[in-house]
Structure 1
Amino acid sequence: MRRLLLALPFALLPLAIAQAAEVHDHEHEHGSLGAHEHGVGRLNAVLDGLALELELESPAMNLVGFEHAPSTDTDKAKVAAARAQLEQPLVLFSLPKAAGCVVAKQELQSPLFGDKPDANEHDDDDDHDADAKAADGHEHHHEHSEIHAHYQLTCAKPDVLKTLDLSQIFKTFPATVKIQVQLISPSGQQGVEATAQAATLKF
């Protein structure tokens, strides 16, 4: 059952790409779906009782416009601005004030933030790059930097959360073309693909 649900967003992709092609001429990205793909983010959203958990993963390119370690003042300013925006989940996810949601915990991770993605990572990046390509090239490699944001919120009135509105994410980070969402709520689990034109999801 779970495999079927997880496959659902991918079944919708050909139609979505065809519809978006006119607007987004750069929608010719190819490669494995669910992997690192520019313009595509991933979101897991779980509403369970008073708890709302949101986990957003995105290529850094979608959020700051590059994937290398920031070296210039301009790059550093872009990273700082993106981080500041990601530190405001109530705004970013357009959560209604009536729901009374407060942030219980949040965690932002990215090589661009100077974080070490793995506690076992060597300090010598060159050595690690060689190791990463040889061992697990799909994880932690610097040419494909990811930004990972994890939020745990407590909502006093979760019944108010009828929908999840992602429109602010698309406005804040316009290089994000679509977000593949796994949504789990009291009504069940669903796989949905959100775009700027269809940014509101039902819990």
Structure 2
Amino acid sequence: MKFQYPITLISILTLGLYSVSTVAQQNLQAHQHGMAELQVAISGEQIDVLLLSPAYNLVGYEHPPRSAEQHQTLESAVAWLKHTALVDTPHQQCTPEQSHVLTSWNDQHADHHGHGHDHDHDSSGHSDIEIIQRLHCPGLSDINELQTELFDRFPGVEKLKAQWVSPQGQNGARLSPGKHRFQLGR
């Protein structure tokens, strides 16, 4: 599946996480339920975020929604993913300035923006969801730690491979429901 990313996010991730994102792409292609990838680029008071996850982790199924309950589950997940900071400071200071939710299937709830992509799930029946956010986080330069509430909202996410780049360098960590914070190393 191919999606177009905002130029700034691509530039930051390409420069800072080139080797790491290659590994992330290969790992996501393995498509393991319970596993997701989180890439974070920090600059000033801004954070660009890319979350890649099997659809099953976020909505509990991997096909276009078929029932009213599945449509409601997708609508609720998309609303949360668009309006909630995927990473935040311990004092919850970050707010989404931009947020895009892309699914592997053509669905009225996804953010397709008329790019004409083929979003059908792959031949193995696996579907993915990608979330791209730009966050504004006042006082970010004084913060040494970020956290995510993904585990609380989406119990299907059991492990999160987090990678980040900032002016101070790059690093990564494996997060889980009991370990949802990571040190930036500033």
TM-score (norm 2): 0.73
Which residue among 55, 75, 85 is the counterpart of 1:80? Answer: 75
Which residue among 87, 96, 108 is the counterpart of 1:103? Answer: 96
Q: Give the equivalent residue in structure 2 for 1:135.
A: none
In 2, Cα distance between equivalents of 1:153 and 1:3: 19
Q: Give the equivalent residue in structure 1 for 2:9.
A: none
Q: Given the alignment of the two structures, is residue 119 of structure 1 paired with residue 112 of structure 2, yes or no?
A: no
Label 1:148 to 1:4 Cα distance change in 2 as closer, same or farther (>3 A).
closer
- Deviation track 1:124-162 (CA, whole Å, cap 9, x = no partner) reads xxxx96xxxxxxxxxx52721111111112233212432
Runs of 4+ more than 4 Å apart: 2-5, 96-99, 115-118
Q: What is the CA distance between 1:165 and its match in structure 2?
A: 0.8
- Deviation track 1:55-76 (CA, whole Å, cap 9, x = no partner) reads 1111000011001110110111
Which residue among 136, 150, 171 is the counterpart of 2:152? Answer: 171
Label 1:85 to 1:161 Cα distance change in 2 as closer, same or farther (>3 A).
same
Q: Is 1:178–1:193's contact at 8 Å kept on the other side of the alignment?
A: yes
- Tell which structure's C-alpha radius of gyration is larger: 1
The AA in structure 1 aligned to 2:102 is Q
The AA in structure 1 aligned to 2:77 is A
Q: Give the equivalent residue in structure 2 for 1:21.
A: none
Q: Give the equivalent residue in structure 1 for 2:168.
A: 187
In 1, Cα distance between equivalents of 2:170 and 2:57: 26
In 2, Cα distance between equivalents of 1:186 and 1:149: 23
Q: Give the equivalent residue in structure 2 for 1:154.
A: 136
SS of the residue corresponding to residue 87 of structure 1 reads: helix
Label 1:173 to 1:108 Cα distance change in 2 as closer, same or farther (>3 A).
same
- Provide the identity percentage: 25
Q: Could you say which structure has the higher helix fraction?
A: 1
In 2, Cα distance between equivalents of 1:56 and 1:3: 14
Q: Is 2:28–2:52's contact at 8 Å kept on the other side of the alignment?
A: no
Which residue among 62, 87, 93 is the counterpart of 2:57? Answer: 62
Q: Is 1:52–1:155's contact at 8 Å kept on the other side of the alignment?
A: yes
The AA in structure 2 aligned to 1:161 is I
In 1, Cα distance between equivalents of 2:159 and 2:51: 12
SS of the residue corresponding to residue 48 of structure 2 reads: strand
Label 1:34 to 1:141 Cα distance change in 2 as closer, same or farther (>3 A).
closer
Q: Give the equivalent residue in structure 2 for 1:25.
A: none
Number of aligned residues: 162
- Deviation track 1:23-69 (CA, whole Å, cap 9, x = no partner) reads xxxxxxxxx73322111100101111122111111100001100111
SS of the residue corresponding to residue 99 of structure 2 reads: strand
Q: Is 1:98–1:157's contact at 8 Å kept on the other side of the alignment?
A: no
CA RMSD of aligned residues (A): 3.0
Q: Give the equivalent residue in structure 2 for 1:20.
A: none
